[in-house]
């Protein structure tokens, strides 16, 4: 056997020795990271955090009406309104364009406008005026930040206590309830700070509105 043939055989053996461990390790890591790890984490999540693993869904009369972690765009006067959302969606009249679709859970996002953006300043100024007019507030009443600015996700399910209390008068009038009754409902729905120190007390808008509907007002229910 000449030297050329011997060299080719040695080269082929060397390549085989390299390819085999590469293939074995590839298959192994695909099984571990592509099947094993996702399966273990899914089973563990459903066992220990079943509600969160299923999307923190809210069910009423056997029907899913929302999630505690994804806001909804309430606009009727008898409901507490969420903070602004600047999410967009596909224009039904022109798929190549987008239109405003507040609380579009399929396309979470923010405006990415900075604090010195004139467009953002103008938008906030308009929202402040609209908020005061909508809730019958005087021009010198301070408006909570979360009432006039959008969240980073565009899907914030919560509002501040100050925001809710300023909306209470409008909600009470629309539902033929006393303002004291609405304020008491707000107090009963407060979510405290996490671990007593993280974040601020807040209110989940969907759960708050469901609590109001449970009072049996004359307005249409969720």
Average pLDDT over residues 194-202: 88
Cα angle vertex 172, ends 166, 177, to 5°? 150
Of 45 and 129, the structure prediction assigns the larger pLDDT to 129
Average pLDDT over residues 9-16: 57
pLDDT tens digits, 105-120: 888 888 888 888 999 9
Looking at residue 23, what is its pLDDT?
85
Contact between residue 155 and residue 70 where contact means Cβ atoms under 8 Å apart: yes
pLDDT bin (cut points 50, 70, 90) of residue 221 is very low
Whole-model pTM: value is 0.78
Q: Structural domain boundaries of the chain? A: 3-53, 57-213
Task: Give the sign of the dihedral formed by CA 181, CA 184, CA 188, CA 194.
Answer: positive
Six token digits for residue 81? 């309104």
Least confident of 61-75, 144-158, 181-195: 61-75
Tell me the H-state helices in the chain: 3-29, 37-48, 50-53, 118-135, 145-148, 161-175, 179-188, 205-213
Asked whether residue 219 carries a pLDDT value surpassing 50, the answer given is: no
Residue showing tokens 């009072």? 215
pLDDT bin (cut points 50, 70, 90) of residue 9 is very low
């Amino acid at each position: 056997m000449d030297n050329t043939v011997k060299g080719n055989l040695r080269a082929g053996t060397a390549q085989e020795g390299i390819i085999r461990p590469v293939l074995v390790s590839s298959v192994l890591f695909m099984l571990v990271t592509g099947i094993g790890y996702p399966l273990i984490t899914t089973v563990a999540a459903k066992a220990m955090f079943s509600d969160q693993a299923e999307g923190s869904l809210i069910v009423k009369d056997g029907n899913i009406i929302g999630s505690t972690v994804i806001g909804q765009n309430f606009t009727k006067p008898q409901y507490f309104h969420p903070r602004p959302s600047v999410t967009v969606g596909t224009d039904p009249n022109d798929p190549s364009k987008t239109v405003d679709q507040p609380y579009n859970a399929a396309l979470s996002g923010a405006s990415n406008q900075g604090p010195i953006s004139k467009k953002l300043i103008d938008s906030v100024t308009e929202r402040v005026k609209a908020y005061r007019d909508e809730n019958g507030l005087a021009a010198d009443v301070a408006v909570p930040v979360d009432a006039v600015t959008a969240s980073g996700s565009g899907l914030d399910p919560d509002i501040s206590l100050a925001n809710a209390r300023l909306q209470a008068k409008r909600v009470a009038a629309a539902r033929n309830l006393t303002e004291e009754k609405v304020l008491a409902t707000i107090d009963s729905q407060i979510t405290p700070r996490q671990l007593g120190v993280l974040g601020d007390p807040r209110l989940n808008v969907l759960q708050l509105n469901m609590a109001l509907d449970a009072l049996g007002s004359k307005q249409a229910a969720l």
